[in-house]
Structure 1
Amino acid sequence: MDIIEINKALSNPVRIDMLKWLKKPEDNFPKQIYVPDFSDGVCVCHIQDKTGLSQSTVSHYLTMLQKANLLIATRHGKWTYYRRNESEILKYIQTLSNEL
């Protein structure tokens, strides 16, 4: 775990919002076609719609969160779905608690 990289990924309010929204996707996003139960996460298109930002910005933000190991990406055809990596988020919180 790289605490510095995770902190960098969390240093933007929109990326924090993305993680918050993905915590309860059924409350924050519309029903999806390929993964209606959100088991593989939320389609990038829905995340982009919610942020109101450009596709390239949202993709960059999601990539940062994924590289920090806070998100897991799953492909379905041409669509990518993202969900939280709960075990890594918990490890991060525990590490902060133990070390700081």
Structure 2
Amino acid sequence: MLSTPVGERRLDILEWLKEPARHFPPQRHADLVEDGVPAAVIAAKLGVRRQVADTHLALLADIGLLRAKRIRRRVYYRRDEMRIAEVARMFEKGW
């Protein structure tokens, strides 16, 4: 069902990751724009447990809207702008 990926929290995540330096603190071992934001930091901003955030992030990554990258022991997430544009075009065409 398409309504599942577009929940309010998931939309918040996508919006925050559009400008990660504006919404998240700098990271020691990664660049917010190039590498993404760690799942634990996203969970804290959402105000949820890490497992809850992981569920949202995994779904967004599974449908291709986010890219996941492991650096050391953390997984960092960033938007996949090409995929997001592709999905937007599908909706514009009435898909």
User: Same fold judged by TM-score > 0.5?
Assistant: yes
Task: State TM-score, norm by structure 1.
Answer: 0.88
Q: Any runs of at least 4 consecutive aligned residues in structure 1 with deviations exceeding 4 A, and if so which?
A: none
Match of 1:74 in 2: 69
1:52 is the counterpart of 2:47: yes
In 2, the alpha carbon distance for the partners of 1:91 and 1:49 equals: 30
AA matched with 1:65: L
Identify unmatched segments of 5+ residues in structure 1: none
1:62 is the counterpart of 2:57: yes
Match of 2:4 in 1: 8
Match of 1:19 among 4, 9, 14: 14
In 2, the alpha carbon distance for the partners of 1:90 and 1:38 equals: 18
Percent of residue pairs bearing the same amino acid type: 29
Count residues with an aligned counterpart. Answer: 95
**Alignment RMSD:** 1.3
Identify unmatched segments of 5+ residues in structure 2: none
AA matched with 1:8: T
In 2, the alpha carbon distance for the partners of 1:37 and 1:70 equals: 17
AA matched with 1:34: H
Match of 1:96 in 2: 91
Match of 1:83 in 2: 78
Task: State TM-score, norm by structure 2.
Answer: 0.93
